[in-house]
Every structure is written in C-alpha cells, then in structure tokens.
C-alpha cells in the first residue's frame, strides 16, 4: 500500500508498531489478480474457518466439509473475473458457493451410501448416518429457497446483502424467505407428526 508523504510524493506506508492496516477482500482480490499469490492466501486464511463451520451443517462428515472448503476456494479462483463482493467482502459469495458445493458433495455421499446398502451386510457394527429432519427439510427446498435460507437464516446476512449476492431485488429475497420458512415449518410439522404416530 502507498501513502502520500509531507512533500506530496507517494511511498510505502510506514511501519507503525501495534497498528495494522487490513485490506478488504476486494482490495486483496485485485492484488491476487495482479499476481500476488499471498493476497489470495490472506483471503483464504480470513474466511476458511467460517466456510468450514457453514459446510459442517450441510454435509455428513468433517472430511466432506473440508472438501467443500477446498472446492469453494477453487471455484472462487476459477470464476475470479465474476465473483461478487458485498461491501468489499467476498464472504457472502463464498457462502453461496459453499452451499452449492455442499449439495454436490452430499449427493455424492448419498450415492456412495446407496451403493454400500446394495452390498451384503457383514457381521460388523452398522453405522447409521442421520442428517436430521431440519437438514432433510432444507434439502427438499428449491435451490433459490435454500440460498436465501442459508444466507439470511443460517449465516445472518441482511435481506439487502443476500439480494446483492444473489443479484435479485430485495423484494424477491423477502418473498423467497417467507415461502421457504413456511415450507420448512410445514415439512418439520409433518416430520414431527410422523414421529408421534410411530411411537
């Protein structure tokens, strides 16, 4: 980074003990596009734990969540010319991409589990993977509804921020969120009633 000194010339920012200047993701992204590989690493370090926590709620295993993190950042670089920033932050775009990647990883895990179910059982203890009714209900929503629930409910973004990330009007986000919450409530009530009658 550069600053203007007393003579009005540009130079490197001085090192001031105890003070650090953090570039926004958008600024770091420009540095990365200009060839600064450390800039991309700083973005990764800044957001990888948040993407991992987000992914853990969407896929069956910790290893799957780590795969989602890797896929998400790979997609960010692959689509480096079209990523979207919200107030200088890449995080909302990364969260949406992680949600899409998690769906793909979950589908692959389901296919793998289906394949394992076709194999004759052994005498060893059987492992049961239960995604839970809420995650199952979320998975039954349309992609558009999953995106708004992920951004606004799970990740706590405002409706305006979600609208910017998804490139839709804020009214669209509000209506999708309303419908998604209604559908989730209906599915969870149905799931609960099945559990009550099964007892």
The per-residue pLDDT for range 27-55, each reduced to its tens digit, is: 999 999 999 989 999 999 999 999 999 99
Residues in the chain: 199
Q: Where are the domains of the chain?
A: 21-129, 131-199
The DSSP secondary structure of the chain, one letter per residue, reads: -EEE-TTS-EEEPPP-TT------HHHHHHHHHTT-HHHHHHHHHHHHHHHHHHHHTTSSSHHHHHHHHHHHHHHHHHTTTT---BTTB-HHHHHHHHHHHHHHHHHHHHHHHHHHHHSPP-SSPPP-----HHHHHHHHS-HHHHHHIIIIIIS---HHHHHHHHTS-HHHHHHHHHHHHHHHHHHHHHHHHHHHHH-
Residue 199: what pLDDT?
Answer: 59
Residues above pLDDT 70, as percent of the chain: 73
Q: How far apart are CA 133 and CA 71, in angstroms?
A: 26
| pLDDT beyond 60 at 20 | no
Q: CATH top-level class for 131-199?
A: mainly alpha
Fold of the domain spanning 21-129: Rna Polymerase Sigma Factor; Chain: A (1.10.1740)
| pLDDT beyond 90 at 66 | yes
Q: pTM (2 decimals)? A: 0.54
């Amino acid at each position: 980074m550069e600053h203007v000194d007393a003579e009005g010339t540009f130079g490197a920012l001085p090192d001031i003990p105890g003070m650090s200047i953090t570039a926004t993701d958008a600024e770091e992204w420009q540095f990365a596009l200009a060839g600064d590989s450390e800039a991309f690493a700083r973005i990764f370090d800044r957001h990888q734990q948040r993407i991992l926590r987000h992914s853990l709620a969407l896929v069956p295993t910790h290893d799957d969540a780590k795969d989602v993190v890797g896929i998400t950042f790979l997609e960010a670089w692959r689509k480096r010319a079209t990523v979207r920033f919200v107030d200088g932050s890449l995080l909302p775009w990364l969260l949406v991409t992680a949600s899409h990647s998690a769906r793909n990883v979950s589908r692959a895990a389901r296919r793998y589990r289906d394949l394992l179910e076709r194999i004759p059982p052994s005498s060893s203890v059987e492992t049961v993977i239960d995604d839970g009714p809420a995650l199952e209900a979320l998975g039954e929503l349309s992609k558009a509804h999953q995106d708004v629930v992920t951004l606004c409910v799970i990740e706590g973004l405002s409706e305006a921020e979600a609208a910017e990330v998804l490139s839709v009007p804020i009214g669209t986000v509000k209506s999708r969120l309303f419908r998604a919450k209604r559908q989730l409530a209906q599915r969870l009530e149905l799931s609960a009633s099945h559990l009550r009658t099964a007892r």
